[in-house]
Homo-oligomer: A and B are copies of this chain.
Amino acid sequence: MASDTVYRASTTAPVNIAVVKYWGKRDPKLNLPTNSSLSVTLSQADLRTLTTASCSASYPSSDGDSLLLNGEPSDVAGARTQACFRELRSRRAALEAANPSLPKLSAMPLRLVSENNFPTAAGLASSAAGFAAFVRAIANLYELPASPSELSLIARQGSGSACRSLFGGYVAWRMGDKADGSDSMADQVAEASHWPEMRALILVVSAAKKGVSSTSGMQQTVATSGLFQERITKVVPQNMDLMEKAIKEKDFAAFAEVTMRDSNSFHATCADTYPPIFYMNDVSRAAIRAVETINANVGRTVAAYTFDAGPNAVIYYLEQDTEAVVGTFYHVLGEIDGWKQASLKGLKPSMSLDGGVASILKSGVSRVIMTGVGEGPMKTDDFLVAEDGSPVKR
């Protein structure tokens, strides 16, 4: 082929929201966690990153590797991004060494362009989808025979939770015990099709100010919380077992209780950090009270809250309970953006919430996102890099 050939590959990758939380590194350099974790992969129809990886001998090597993220040049000099480039290139180089007829892509500068289909303002951890798409796109470009679990080893080094976004459905990240991290990777507990009724309503809460970053926050917890060891040695291993069982048996009540307990335990260790870290605020706590009210009024557990390193509430529920769960929140928050009117058709206003809880939610929830369990990364011909190597204008 001509030396100006531009090689391209595109993929999408999903966001995942953990129901057993990752919090703490035993090896910050390799992103090795202090405990295993488990997440639900969310539908890419609502939340996804689209990334095109390209390389060409015609790209000036002086440019080096580059990433355009949501239209803005993004720094790729960071150790974590560099680790991903290095791991992927070395695997491509091995293929090229074994088969000299292959084009020497590993020697060419990489040009990546990436876009999220959701507002970064939503404050959703986009790094998981971002690094999963980054790794998957380059693996596609390099035609690596690597399995999703193998790629999860690489994505993990970019952003820990990214390793779980290499799979759809219900995904576990096994902490492993090897010092080199070669056994700290993700696997699929169940396909999305095993339990397709799982839904998530995300209440986007405007935080007064950006909290402590999870990267530094988790290491402060590891270093200072007197309760943290109990969480990683006793609480999480038990929650992992209970959660896998709940998912395999499609037992929502069990899934919900472990989800809520593990979120509480995670935020408790944050509050026990010195100085204390608070990600939830009064609006987050009002969302918890609302979920408790809904479950109490229905008389069974139909909704489960979980919170990552921020005030947003992610509320899991099953499609058949949309009326009780979504109906109740829509009744209070119908004015704000994000509702899927189609899915609300015929929803009768459900139970009403305590006035205090309702007014706190009204005052602090800026938008909602309605989504559900979904598939893993998907190869696509939607390219963000043109055949001539230039970024596609949208």
Give A209 to B360 CA distance when docked, in angstroms: 13
Query: Which B-chain residue is minimally distant from A359 (CB atoms)?
Result: B208
Q: Write 26 A-B pairs (CB below 8 A) sorted by A numbering.
A: A208-B356, A208-B360, A209-B356, A225-B268, A226-B230, A226-B231, A226-B238, A226-B265, A227-B227, A227-B235, A227-B265, A227-B268, A227-B272, A257-B274, A260-B274, A260-B275, A264-B273, A264-B274, A265-B272, A268-B268, A268-B269, A268-B271, A268-B272, A271-B271, A276-B288, A281-B282
Number of copies: 2
Query: Which B-chain residue is minimally distant from A257 (CB atoms)?
Result: B274
Contacts of A324-373 to chain B: CB distance below 8 A: 356, 360
CB distance from A316 to the nearest CB of B (A): 16
- Asked if A267 is at the interface (CB within 8 A of a chain B CB), the reply is yes
B274–A278 CB distance below 8 A: no
Chain B contacts for A267, CB-based, 8 A: 271
Chain B contacts for A275, CB-based, 8 A: 260, 288, 292
- Asked if A229 is at the interface (CB within 8 A of a chain B CB), the reply is yes
Give A194 to B264 CA distance when docked, in angstroms: 41
Chain B contacts for A231, CB-based, 8 A: 226-227
B268–A278 CB distance below 8 A: no
> Which bracket fits the contact residues of A?
20 to 34
- Asked if A234 is at the interface (CB within 8 A of a chain B CB), the reply is yes
Give A152 to B260 CA distance when docked, in angstroms: 40
Per-residue B-contact encoding for A206-232, CB less than 8 Å = 1, 0 else = 001100000000000000011101110
B226–A229 CB distance below 8 A: no
Give A288 to B285 CA distance when docked, in angstroms: 18
Give A276 to B227 CA distance when docked, in angstroms: 16
Query: Which B-chain residue is minimally distant from A238 (CB atoms)?
Result: B226
- Asked if A379 is at the interface (CB within 8 A of a chain B CB), the reply is no
Chain B contacts for A264, CB-based, 8 A: 271-274, 276
CB distance from A229 to the nearest CB of B (A): 7
- Asked if A261 is at the interface (CB within 8 A of a chain B CB), the reply is yes
CB distance from A254 to the nearest CB of B (A): 13
Chain B contacts for A235, CB-based, 8 A: 226-227
Chain B contacts for A209, CB-based, 8 A: 356
A sample of 8 more A-B contacts (CB under 8 A), given A226-B235, A281-B285, is A209-B356, A227-B230, A227-B269, A264-B274, A268-B268, A268-B271, A268-B272, A275-B292
Per-residue B-contact encoding for A223-264, CB less than 8 Å = 1, 0 else = 001110111001100100000000000000000010011001
Chain B contacts for A272, CB-based, 8 A: 227, 264-265, 268
CB distance from A311 to the nearest CB of B (A): 10
Query: Which B-chain residue is minimally distant from A229 (CB atoms)?
Result: B230
Give A209 to B209 CA distance when docked, in angstroms: 25
Chain B contacts for A238, CB-based, 8 A: 226
Chain B contacts for A285, CB-based, 8 A: 278, 281
Chain B contacts for A268, CB-based, 8 A: 225, 227, 268-269, 271-272
Give A225 to B227 CA distance when docked, in angstroms: 11
Query: Which B-chain residue is minimally distant from A274 (CB atoms)?
Result: B261
Chain B contacts for A229, CB-based, 8 A: 230
